[in-house]
Amino acid sequence: MSRLVVISNRVAVPKARGVAGAQGGLAGALNSALKRNGGLWFGWSGNEVEEFTGDVSIQRGEGVTTATIDLAAQDVEEYYNGYANSTLWPLFHYRIDLTEYEREFGRGYERVNEHFADSVRPLIEPDDLVWVHDYHLLPLGGRLRSRGIQNRIGFFLHIPWPPTRLFVSLPYHERMVKAMLEYDLIGFQTREWLESFLHYCQKELGATVDEKTGRITCGERTVHARAYPIGIDYDHVIEQAGTGEARQAAQRLLASTRRRTAMLGVDRLDYSKGLPERIDGISRFFDQHPQHVRDLVFIQIAPPSREDVSSYQKIRTQLEQKTGQINGARSEVDLVPIRYVNKGHSLAELCGFYRAAKIGLVTPLRDGMNLVAKEYIAAQDPEDPGVLILSRFAGAALQMPEAVLVNPYSPDELSHAIKQALDMPREERKERWDILIKTVRDDNIQRWTENFTGDLASLPVTRETQTDEQRAH
């Protein structure tokens, strides 16, 4: 197939700010795609400079070529901390109460998307497939078209797309979506997010929408939008789960629990993950079942993220307070009911922790997909698997109905789910796991990549062939 050019905010170079954590996510997905297909990964290095220069740094290693640019401190504040993470992220996760609408943020976001377009344009060859990722670069398709790029360009959104009534609160929302319609193929994690986008295009832009095929016609532009649920790199996770590092991690956890049942949560420290609500549910469980304080321990691994954004500082403080209150009220000299770990771990270590934990607690308030849920299932012992408790508001819930699905806003429902998981017989656990592991194994990152890039490559080219003169200008 054609060479693949991936463009994203984050590039996995050493010390890059914002690179996905050890548990997978966007970085793992893009590395897998590029190793399989060859090509280039372009984005921000994570470094700040006094003034933007547009200089591109090329690096090659482990089968992947990366091209990165440095951003000015003002760009980082307005584009990354500002518009991307203080405006779009909360709005797209239905948290309009946390959404900040600042004109300077919007200007910075537009400016950095222009920087990306100017810097990557000379690196794109005529036959390349271009694949743009995530909410940081929503309008990049329009910026590339304005610079003469006529290649097939796809876009994938890794987070939810909000309902129209929320999205229209965004200033200049029509301009944003019209720039997105310059892509040839737009991908979403689930049918729900796709339908929200199609509804907006039809109701707000007056576009003609074919809901069965995802074909959108707006003026002279025809675009396709479809759902592509992302998966994990299953073979890599299984490999990591079989390492000595994973076995040691599992033994460490089991030895430290002293025969208590381990229940595990692994999340970035982010308000969309529902961590305070999770702690409330666990508190309710201990209130209703005080006898289990001595035989259940909850371990929350929550690496810090976006520490420059005030709402993330607040969520950390809130989580520490709630955890401290429960431990203060229910601890004994020889045990604490909740362990809160504010640091990251390698994928191998996480796989060991997953395997040792008899309950996996994945309860985001809203999530595009959630790969931790799939990693937890992949790492289980087939003969004695644990139970996955999963928020019905995570995209993964649509693929994993055999998990114990919960409303993360309800402490009572979460308490009931924990009791159900503790009491679940091995035969039922195996029956549920047998179905879940097939989904996780088959709907993997390789299939996701093949489905998206295959669909993008098959779309007809509706523009004239790009000339060298056009490229120069």
Give the pLDDT confidence of 329-343 residue by residue, as tens digits: 998 888 899 999 988
Residue showing tokens 């591109």: 56
pLDDT of amino acid 144: 98
Output the average pLDDT for the chain: 91
How crowded is the C-beta side of 81, counted as CA atoms within 13 Å? 19
The DSSP output letter for 78 is I
In this prediction, residues 93-106 reach a mean pLDDT of 96
Q: Which residues neighbour 160 within 8 Å (Cβ) at sequence distance 6 or greater?
A: 92, 93, 94, 189, 192, 193, 196, 366, 367, 368, 395
Whole-model pTM: value is 0.92
pLDDT of amino acid 332: 87
Q: Which residues neighbour 124 within 8 Å (Cβ) at sequence distance 6 or greater?
A: 5, 130, 144, 149, 151
Q: Which residues neighbour 394 within 8 Å (Cβ) at sequence distance 6 or greater?
A: 362, 364, 366, 367, 369, 370, 373
443 is catalytic: no
Contact present, 302 and 340 (Cβ < 8 Å): yes
**pLDDT over threshold 60, residue 15:** no
**pLDDT over threshold 80, residue 433:** yes
Sheet holding 338-341, edge to edge: 338-341, 296-301, 261-266, 359-362, 387-391, 404-406
pLDDT of amino acid 109: 98
pLDDT of amino acid 18: 44
CA 418 to CA 441: how far, in whole Å? 26
**pLDDT over threshold 50, residue 471:** no
367 is catalytic: yes
Percent of the chain at pLDDT exceeding 70? 92
Give the containing element (helix H, strand E) for 265: strand 261-266
Contact present, 244 and 203 (Cβ < 8 Å): no
pLDDT greater at residue 19 or residue 347 = 347
> pLDDT tens digits, residue range 224-274?
999 999 999 899 899 999 999 999 999 999 999 988 999 999 999 999 999
**pLDDT over threshold 50, residue 22:** no
For 47, phi then psi, to 5°, come to -90, 150
Query: DSSP per residue over 315-357, as a string?
Result: HHHHHHHHHHHHHHHH-BTTB-SEEEE-S---HHHHHHHHHH-
Confidence label for 28 from pLDDT (cuts 50, 70 and 90): low
In this prediction, residues 410-414 reach a mean pLDDT of 98
pLDDT of amino acid 463: 56
Helices (H), 150-225: 164-167, 173-180, 191-205
**pLDDT over threshold 90, residue 25:** no
Least Cα distance to 232 among 93, 349, 385, 399 occurs for: 399
**Catalytic pick among 115, 133, 158, 345:** 158
pLDDT of amino acid 23: 34
pLDDT of amino acid 409: 98
Structure tokens at 385: 């698997």
Give the containing element (helix H, strand E) for 64: strand 64-72
Confidence label for 11 from pLDDT (cuts 50, 70 and 90): confident
End-to-end CA gap in the chain: 28
In this prediction, residues 338-362 reach a mean pLDDT of 96
**pLDDT over threshold 80, residue 470:** no
**Catalytic pick among 70, 280, 367, 455:** 367
For 333, phi then psi, to 5°, come to -65, -20
**pLDDT over threshold 90, residue 467:** no
Contact present, 282 and 35 (Cβ < 8 Å): no
pLDDT of amino acid 313: 79
**pLDDT over threshold 60, residue 472:** no
pLDDT of amino acid 102: 96
pLDDT of amino acid 305: 75
Which segment of 111-125, 149-163, 298-312 scores lowest on mean pLDDT?
A: 298-312
> pLDDT tens digits, residue range 41-93?
999 999 999 999 999 999 987 778 899 999 999 999 999 999 999 999 999 99
pLDDT of amino acid 340: 93
The DSSP output letter for 66 is E
Confidence label for 306 from pLDDT (cuts 50, 70 and 90): low
Structure tokens at 223: 């675009």
Residue showing tokens 């000299």: 333
CA 467 to CA 152: how far, in whole Å? 15
pLDDT of amino acid 334: 85
Mark 359-388 as b/e (b = at least 16 C-beta within 10 Å): bbbbbbbbbbbbbbbbbbbbbbeeeebbbb
**pLDDT over threshold 60, residue 473:** no
In this prediction, residues 130-141 reach a mean pLDDT of 97
**pLDDT over threshold 90, residue 317:** no
